[in-house]
Amino acid sequence: MTPDFLQTLWFGLIAVLWVGYFILEGFDFGVGALLRVIGRSEAEKRAIIHTIGPVWDGNEVWVITAGGATFAAFPGWYASLFSGFYLALLLILLCLIARGVSFEFWGKDDSPRWRAGWEWATVIGSGGAALLWGVGWADIIHGVPMDAAHNVTATLWDLLHPYALLGGLVTLSLFLTHGANFLALRTTGELTDRARAVARRLSPVATLLLVGFLAWTAFDQPHGPVKISAQVPAVLAGLAALAATYAVQRRKDVAAFGLLSGAIALLFVSLVFELFPYALPSTTSHAFSLSLVTASSHSYTLTVMTVVAVVMVPIVLAYTGWTYWVFRARLGASDFAGEATPLAGLQRKLGGDPAGGDGSSGAPTATG
């Protein structure tokens, strides 16, 4: 059966939420994973954390919204995913918890051992989540063992096949490069130079992995031939990644960040086209695959959700854009040297009271 307009619309809107999540959360995954690579001194690490401090938790709202929309619009899809991906999703959640807690606790004690421990929590949590999201989405596109009741019968180890692991390496490498490009835009001095150097090394690797993954995906379809509709954004994704690599080499920071954002978006658009009209393919039997029609809620539910989305989405986009505009200033180690609080550093950057703050060392909190 072919999905109707509302079912197709909500499948597309959920895809948009995931694209927004991977673009926005992608760079702060990269920033977190590169914390100890690019940051050398305490002041530099504090500056790095504060480039994403005001926005990282807001970026995670995108995945919460995507999960809620999936539950409301396609409860059958949500149920099938949790029937087999529960442990994998729990691992992702643990990574997200570890990095979130690390941001809050890093500055609570001046002990080098304390700070090093939370820095590693940031690195592992960020890198682990970046890897696991790619593995999970590759499994969804590839298909999983599933019975006639749409219960996934795969174990965690069944989800770690070569194609899925390649998907994880793709997202990890893309997000690391994305994070390095972001730091090149948001930092000053030696931090910018190191971020550019890391991006120059990572960008060709990420592009090569991306192109290989997209080529494998094109011929790894369990329910039919190569989909031309999916190959158009796939080719564009590869070209955008190549252009981003060139921009990185030319030290064009804005272009590199924008082009890689486009490559990430086009990658997931391509995957969504590969998946449609299924929510979750079955590798056990084609007859057991979960279609969007089967997984969907009633049309009345989708209609109400559409009305809410029309009202709320512009508001969400507006305040998201406003947040990034407010916290657009570049940061460097000098902004966090001595006893300045995060608020004082921000006030200095925005032309406020350079002596602001209470004189304490301050923790790199999400509101800092």
Q: Which helix (H) or strand (E) holds 174?
A: helix 162-186
- Specify the range with the lowest mean pLDDT, choosing from 52-56, 131-135, 323-327, 331-335: 331-335
Q: How confident is the model at residue 225 (pLDDT cuts 50, 70, 90)?
A: low
Distance CA 151, CA 288 (A): 9
The pLDDT tens digits of the residues spanning 181-217 come to 999 999 999 999 999 999 999 999 999 999 999 999 9
User: How many domains, in total, are found in the chain?
Assistant: 1
- Is 54 inside any structural domain? yes
How high is the pLDDT of residue 365? 45
Distance CA 230, CA 223 (A): 14
Report the pLDDT averaged over residues 103-126.
90
| Contact yes or no for 292/74 (Cβ under 8 A) | yes
| Contact yes or no for 53/367 (Cβ under 8 A) | yes
Q: Token match 């490069």: residue?
A: 177
Report the pLDDT averaged over residues 296-315.
92
Q: Token match 């990034």: residue?
A: 324
| Strand, coil or helix: 93 | helix
The pLDDT tens digits of the residues spanning 311-322 come to 988 988 898 889
| Contact yes or no for 342/333 (Cβ under 8 A) | no
Q: Report which of 207, 216, 204, 206 is spatially closest to residue 239, judged by C-alpha positions.
A: 207
Q: How confident is the model at residue 368 (pLDDT cuts 50, 70, 90)?
A: very low
How high is the pLDDT of residue 220? 75
- Is 129 inside any structural domain? yes
- Is 145 inside any structural domain? yes
| Strand, coil or helix: 270 | helix
Q: Name the pTM for this structure.
A: 0.88
Report the DSSP beta bridge partners of residue 166. Answer: none
- Is 86 inside any structural domain? yes
Share of the chain above pLDDT 70, in %: 90
How high is the pLDDT of residue 344? 55
- Specify the range with the lowest mean pLDDT, choosing from 17-26, 125-134, 348-357: 348-357
The pLDDT tens digits of the residues spanning 26-79 come to 999 999 999 999 998 888 999 999 999 888 888 888 999 999 999 999 999 999
Helix 228-249 and helix 189-218: axis angle, to 10°? Answer: 160
- Is 363 inside any structural domain? no
- Is 69 inside any structural domain? yes
- Is 231 inside any structural domain? no
| Domain that includes residue 105, residue range | 5-207+274-279+295-349
Mean pLDDT of the chain: 88
The pLDDT tens digits of the residues spanning 249-300 come to 999 999 999 999 999 999 999 999 999 999 999 988 888 999 999 999 999 9
Q: How confident is the model at residue 349 (pLDDT cuts 50, 70, 90)?
A: low
Indicate whether 354 pLDDT > 70.
no
- Is 286 inside any structural domain? no
